[in-house]
Chains A and B, each alone.
Chain A
Amino acid sequence: AQTVTQSQPEMSVQEAETVTLSCTYDTSENNYYLFWYKQPPSRQMILVIRQEAYKQQNATENRFSVNFQKAAKSFSLKISDSQLGDTAMYFCAFEVDNAGNMLTFGGGTRLMVKP
């Protein structure tokens, strides 16, 4: 079984600054995917970024980037130039590379961006 742990229940950051959200996971699988999802107050789940475990290069999507450390089973999310609209719950998620498998979510980190 896979587990995903987010050790920071809440974080805050000043607008325009950078913040890093932590995520660790535990698995015996070698091929898998990792995701960060954003859940704003509307409750709609939005995919922020995805990382394939077989890729060594860290994924980047505009202001969002990850630090994927496979040996350490760590997958942190860095948000640069934080914006007020980044205020949301952020969930780290894991999926074994087997089409149709479900996502295992971490407990979430509530991020507040302050003006």
Chain B
Amino acid sequence: GAVVSQHPSRVICKSGTSVKIECRSLDFQATTMFWYRQFPKQSLMLMATSNEGSKATYEQGVEKDKFLINHASLTLSTLTVASAHPEDSSFYICSARDLGLGTEAFFGQGTRLTVV
């Protein structure tokens, strides 16, 4: 299957700093990318959907000024957690899909963010 690379896999940052997480599709063009947040022992919660070259569509309750999503190319989307606080600590997962490859979504390895 297609490969989605997410980086970094783990990051620890100080409260008040910003953190950028990258999601790359390595062997296909990701027309749409999704960002999820997963709390311990819970399911994936969709944060936002982004299409290449367009503004992201955020789910209700997700602060767009805190979770900045950029999908500037067909192979790269970034999630920036602005002015991170301890409550932003979580596991973040991206997924990507190419309409030409059908309906399957391919997932990155996830990023564990710890804000101290």
Contacts and interface: CB of A to CB of B under 8 A. Distances in A.
Interface residues of B, number: 23
A103 B105 contact: yes
Contact of A107 (B31, B42, B109): B42
A102 B34 contact: yes
A107 B43 contact: yes
Nearest to A4: B43
Nearest to B45: A105
Interface in B10-57: 31-32, 34, 38, 41-44, 46, 49, 51
A43 interface: yes
Contacts of B31: 100
A9 B53 CA distance: 39
Which 4 A-B pairs rank lowest in CB-CB distance, beginning with the nearest? A45-B107, A43-B110, A105-B43, A100-B32
19 contacts: A43-B38, A43-B93, A43-B109, A44-B110, A45-B44, A45-B95, A50-B103, A50-B104, A100-B32, A100-B51, A100-B99, A102-B34, A103-B34, A103-B46, A103-B105, A105-B43, A107-B42, A108-B41, A108-B42
Given A45-B95, A107-B42, 6 more contacts: A33-B103, A100-B51, A102-B49, A103-B46, A107-B43, A108-B42
